[in-house]
Amino acid sequence: MAPTIAKPLLSDLVAQTGQVPLSHVRPVEDRPDLASVDNESGAGIPLIDLRKLDGPERRTVVEAIGRACESDGFFMREWRVCVQVTNHGIPAGVVEGMLHVAREFFHLPEAERLKCYSDDPKKAIRLSTSFNVRTEKVSNWRDFLRLHCYPLQSFVDQWPSNPPSFRQVVGTYATEARALALRLLEAISESLGLERSHMVTAMGRQAQHMAVNYYPPCPQPELTYGLPGHKDPNAITLLLQDGVSGLQVQRNGRWVAVNPVPDALVINIGDQLQALSNDRYKSVLHRVIVNSESERISVPTFYCPSPDAVIAPADALVDDGHPLAYRPFTYQEYYDEFWNMGLQSASCLDRFRPG
Ligand code: OGA
Ligand code: NI
């Protein structure tokens, strides 16, 4: 008989057992079906070089981003937006430091890590496990630290202070990640024919959250998920992954592995950009699978509207051929709905269709 979990965190459980506990076993019809995944190193996922984004060839890069974001091209009918970018401007040392301190944090003794534990999704800084243990029936093979990080000075003093370099290293990464998110949002605005500042302005005062995801090795990866299929609720996600595969995106009904490319970041469009672009750019359905050999660390930066920002597309994106796809809503309204709904492949956006 598989064991049950007595402790909130996963990480120490792994060493103790060769079996996935029942709390983490998915029903047969809802397992990853690893044999049917397309593992051919990122088949068709665009890799965009951002080196020339801020020079005379900006237009070419903006157009490449626009093409990657456009979801209804002939060969890309069901393609949702996931790209990898290189020469993104975040210094290699900052990226390495972030991954290093993340690993150090999750290797701290459990008692030390538990000082940050909370299962309340409303808390700005917390360590937790799975997705939302308060609402879900089956847990996921993930522990995670979630940090609000913009404005940095409002939150950094509440971040973990162990490892001692944590605040400085993660603060530097968060600041760099924000600068990149802003550059991408400007390019995305331009690719839609809008003012460069459009998307950032539409997001009000803005917010930035970070997750540090820790997926320990899993004795039976075919029975569970790191994270089941979902779309990110925010505007844009910048995902840093260590060298271990696990992320998959859905394309034409098939799961495709987004294997890590050295020095690249994965950029996912989230639900708010789908709404702000009036459905021109679609948020990407993605999931995480685990493996029995190695732990995996990923660090998504979720760039978000501020809670009171009213999400509605630019007038230029609404016309007779493109009627308003969603009723205007505040990001707070959306976010509450998202956490209550639990992770599922059905888009939370459907709840905001007009009429
Ligand atoms: C997420 C997510 C992907 C990954 O945290 O929302 O999709 O590779 N993470 O960990
Ligand atoms: Ni996600």
Q: Domains of the chain, with CATH numbers?
A: 36-352 (2.60.120.330)
DSSP classification of residue 319: B
Looking from the CA of residue 302, the nearest atom of ligand 1 is 6
Distance (Å, whole) CA 194 – CA 125: 35
The radius of gyration of the chain's CA atoms, rounded to the nearest angstrom, is: 20
**Which pLDDT belongs to residue 82?**
66
**Overall average pLDDT of the 104-126 stretch:** 92
Looking from the CA of residue 246, the nearest atom of ligand 1 is 8
3 state SS of 199: helix
Q: Which of 288, 301, 303, 304 to mutate to test the pocket of ligand 1 (most atoms within 8 A of CB)?
A: 288
More confident residue, 77 or 235: 235
Which tokens in the block code for residue 236?
């844009």
**Which pLDDT belongs to residue 135?**
82
Contacts 24+ apart (CB under 8 A), 324-331: 324/278, 324/354, 325/275, 325/278, 325/279, 325/353, 325/354, 326/275, 326/352, 326/353, 326/354, 327/352, 327/353, 327/354, 329/275, 331/204, 331/272, 331/304, 331/305, 331/306, 331/307
**Which pLDDT belongs to residue 81?**
56
Looking from the CA of residue 232, the nearest atom of ligand 1 is 6
Q: Whose CA is nearest to atom 9 of ligand 1?
A: 300
Looking from the CA of residue 298, the nearest atom of ligand 1 is 10
- pLDDT digit string, tens, across residues 269-284: 999 999 999 999 988 8
- pLDDT digit string, tens, across residues 30-57: 999 999 998 875 667 888 889 989 999 9
- pLDDT digit string, tens, across residues 311-331: 999 999 999 999 999 999 999
Confidence of residue 15 (pLDDT cuts 50, 70, 90): low
DSSP classification of residue 53: T
Distance (Å, whole) CA 95 – CA 149: 16
Q: Whose CA is nearest to atom 1 of ligand 1?
A: 300
CB atoms within 10 A of CB 38: 15
Q: Which of 84, 259, 290, 298 to mutate to test the pocket of ligand 1 (most atoms within 8 A of CB)?
A: 298
Looking from the CA of residue 237, the nearest atom of ligand 1 is 6
Q: What is the mean pLDDT of the chain?
A: 89
Q: For residue 288, report the distance from its CA to the centre of ligand 1, in Å.
A: 7
In the chain, pLDDT over 70 holds for what percent of residues?
A: 90
Asked whether 105 and 160 are in contact (CB, 8 A), the reply is yes
**Which pLDDT belongs to residue 72?**
37
**Which pLDDT belongs to residue 74?**
33
More confident residue, 200 or 81: 200
Q: Whose CA is nearest to atom 8 of ligand 1?
A: 247
Distance (Å, whole) CA 276 – CA 299: 25
Q: For residue 286, report the distance from its CA to the centre of ligand 2, in Å.
A: 6
Confidence of residue 346 (pLDDT cuts 50, 70, 90): low
Looking at all shown ligands, the one closest to residue 300's CA atom is 1
pTM of the model: 0.93
**Which pLDDT belongs to residue 75?**
33
Confidence of residue 79 (pLDDT cuts 50, 70, 90): very low
From first CA to last CA, the distance across the chain in angstroms is 50
**Which pLDDT belongs to residue 132?**
81
Looking at all shown ligands, the one closest to residue 130's CA atom is 1
Confidence of residue 18 (pLDDT cuts 50, 70, 90): confident
Of 7-16, 179-188, 269-278, 323-332, the range with the lowest mean pLDDT is 7-16
Q: For residue 269, report the distance from its CA to the centre of ligand 2, in Å.
A: 10
Asked whether 224 and 218 are in contact (CB, 8 A), the reply is yes
Looking from the CA of residue 296, the nearest atom of ligand 1 is 10
Which tokens in the block code for residue 125?
């800084």
CB-based pocket (< 6 A), ligand 1: 211, 213, 227, 232, 239, 241, 246-247, 286, 288, 298, 300
